[in-house]
Structure 1
């Protein structure tokens, strides 16, 4: 799952570093992720995993790290 999330970050995150090579706990906003790009990441994740982020998860901390994204996506993906 983290590889899929990282590929989406590479294609939609518009960060100055390669998301495939960063530590999963590093702050993505410090690496150049913007709030606008995080919306694009969210939409791509929803498409990729056939999920919908609830309003309670639409906060900066959800998109701050690969670990946080994986935790939220993992919780939302149907079993």
Structure 2
């Protein structure tokens, strides 16, 4: 899941550093995630996973790290829908 989040970050977030240099718990705001970037990231996640992130979950902490985003996605997306399709 974290690698999937990294791919989305790479395309949507416009960070100041390459995504592949980040640890899973690194502060995304410290590396350039802006409010506009977090909105773009949220929209990309929703589109990618065909979900709608509930307003109650959309907090500063949600976009803090790759780990926090991956936990939220895992909470909203059934595990069987993440399995590779054959």
Specify the TM-score bucket, using the shorter chain as the normaliser. Answer: over 0.9
- Structure 1 residue runs without a partner (length 5+): none
Whichever of the two has the greater Rg, that structure is 2
- Structure 2 residue runs without a partner (length 5+): 80-86
CA contact (8 A) 1:51 1:77 kept: yes
Normalized against structure 2, the TM-score is what?
0.87
Q: Which residue of 2 aligns with 1:58?
A: 58
Q: Which residue of 2 aligns with 1:48?
A: 48
Cα deviation for residue 78 of structure 1 reads 2.5
Normalized against structure 1, the TM-score is what?
0.94
RMSD over aligned Cα atoms: 0.9
Q: Which residue of 2 aligns with 1:6?
A: 6
Q: Which residue of 2 aligns with 1:33?
A: 33
Q: Which structure 1 residue ranges, 4+ long, deviate > 6 Å from structure 2?
A: none
